[in-house]
Structure 1
């Protein structure tokens, strides 16, 4: 009887600890998958962003929207959390014949997970080519085999995610990019850093300006006018400018979160 009571108390303490382990000002922090996504990438993202005069909070907010916090099937298979298109020398994810469950809707690509469901629980469809760069290793990239590679090779997954971020910072936001929105963003960021120093990259204002510069217009990262709104909402509700600034100031993820 005493053991049973002690277990219940322990469970209650664990639940209480979880409920109060995030800043209540940032409502999205209550979700475990959000915390997991940022905890694995934020430190390295800040380092990459500083190196290339990029706003790290905006990068993470964009990755959150584009990949569903890393849970979308394209991002999960390819490691391409920013949905960067494949260039002519890159391997892109091809068309895939994959099932989904209906409620909640989710595409399933992991063969072991597929085997758990009954046939009548799955709806199989031919998914179109994603046209997104596939960051799986040579021999797997661009193929329909080993779609669950990154589910088991977690270090390789992280390397792929960080390579994706590095390429966004260098190949996309670049003076050499043929699209004006990306060139202008590069000019804007370098000018701001030259004027104010690297600390400007951790302000909410600059992060929002950058997001609005590269989205919501023709020939930009995403032409939909709702896209910058979605990204900025994530930025605000997860407290990403505060989080990345704390990491820059040598706080641990747990201390900041």
Structure 2
């Protein structure tokens, strides 16, 4: 039975099969590695373990994010939020820097002691794993930067209305609003801009996702208008005119939502 939030990819299966095969080969030739200047067998086992734990924590984070915003109540959502902070802190501040440092160490050891490996095939196995490690670490960095820039752009759209933003606020928003909810809200806004077809609220969302998005919208920061924004004069979704003193929620579309 599939577990909600666990996004098992094809490369996870490839990684697990590669890991199991490599562990068996290293275990069989364990004593023969003692002739090497550097303990390459210990390096590869530690690296396998660290990568496995890293991916496992990513599954845990996906599981926590899948339930955020659903109708669990404020305490449950806050508990998941705190859980994501702990998991992401371990990933970004502990495991990710360790994997970079450990991969560089492994590269130096392999360069100096590659000729002492028990079999010729293991030399290429180590080389492939090092390339895999560097590619994986770079992909994680690029994906994280891309998500950061996307959220930052959404916050800058709010700044056009004079709402203060901060890098800390962007970081908190990335943890509090999962990617699936952020992308679903973007689909809703894009659907509203289609002129060739009528707009149907929630057409891209399941009932549970729609409830989650609505709950997350209600948790967004609220502001009381001190002046009416000039860019709302031709707002295509506003049902009422804005007045000074109205409490509003700003959206990334630069159109505020009227609460009163």
Q: Return the TM-score normalized by structure 2.
A: 0.22
Q: Which has the higher contact order (CA 8 A, sep 6+)?
A: 1
Normalising to structure 1: TM-score of the pair? 0.23
